[in-house]
Structure 1
């Protein structure tokens, strides 16, 4: 993990921008791992952290616009068929895609913003937005805002975890611990929300 990221850092800010863009298309490694690593190792001060935030947000937004363009080209029916056939391989079930599309129809900006904060979904949300022909300006604005929230959180966590020890094993271990805690918290929150919704539906019934 640290080998490729070290090469990226050696490429300078252009390398960071490229990774932030490509990660939205092929999320390997996931963005939160890259952002944590950058916050830990590439930000000696807050000024550098702000620069990393601006560059990664720009790259992330560009990656989302790539999928938006693909969605526009495919159209609604072909995009859904593509997700149905290949979505499971990138952790995007067809049911999740359909829920996202339905949310887009109701509140395009809010759906784009919230989806940007959900692991995996944030990578491919542009397909649905483009397929449904959402206006590009609200989509891009929501994506930019969502990427700013997501990226700043992980960059800041990495920055606060930085220290004199840059041993790859130590850094990798800290990243794994943070990622596990964040993802566990996220999925527990989703589970709690789902249980509350079911109880409310049963109460109404």
Structure 2
């Protein structure tokens, strides 16, 4: 996969970076931990500018987040509650719990959305409650650019600074991302097994 990512960045430049980061947000198995350091490394070789790399990465992140936001907003909380009445076990939520989540999200979305973009496996998911609970688009875009911008800047700048040693980032971030996503899956399966209608 690394060779494919490298080839796409080299062939398409900023557009390739934006497209890869869009896909990373829509299909989480594509790792931003590889995409952005690789893009930063390409900038360190003088083939691209670091500013352009960071803007392209953040733009792709925003577009991917907006995809899930729009899907979730179209779904809406009432449809989700109806679905939960029939299939609550698979989302591990009852209609009443969804109402509680909505109140909690309204109180904490100022930090939940940007912070969510810093956590592997949560980056995609955080756009869904924002859409379902109808956070304003302007607020969602601002908070996504804030969180996504911090993440892409940290990874891209690391790749730029380390040059050919950018593999060092993936050596630590790769296993950490896998561990976090595995933990999320384990918690989900536990909740499915232990689900009780509230």
Bin for the TM-score computed over the shorter chain: 0.7 to 0.9
Q: Could you say what the CA RMSD is over the residues aligned between the two structures, in angstroms?
A: 3.4
The answer to whether the Cα contact below 8 Å between 1:75 and 1:132 also exists between their aligned partners in 2 is yes
Task: Give TM-score, length-normalised by structure 2.
Answer: 0.72
Q: Which residue pairs with 1:54 in the alignment?
A: 55
Shift of residue 52 of structure 1? 0.3
Task: Give TM-score, length-normalised by structure 1.
Answer: 0.70
Q: Which residue pairs with 2:170 in the alignment?
A: 176
Q: Classify 1:162/1:59 alpha carbon distance in 2 versus 1 (closer, same or farther; 3 Å).
A: same
**Residue deviations 1:146-168, cap 9 Å, x none?**
111111111111112213x8xxx
Give structure 1 stretches of 5+ with no counterpart. Answer: 88-92, 166-170, 188-205
Trace 1:1-205 onto structure 2 (pairs within 5 A): 1-9=1-9, 10-44=11-45, 48-79=49-80, 81=83, 101=102, 103-163=104-164, 173-180=167-174, 183=177
For 2:126, what is the secondary structure of its paired residue?
helix
How many Å separate the matches in 2 of 1:128 and 1:73? 12
Give structure 2 stretches of 5+ with no counterpart. Answer: 182-198
Q: How many residues align?
A: 174
Runs of 4+ in 1 over 6 A off after TM superposition: 82-87, 97-100
Shift of residue 86 of structure 1? 6.6
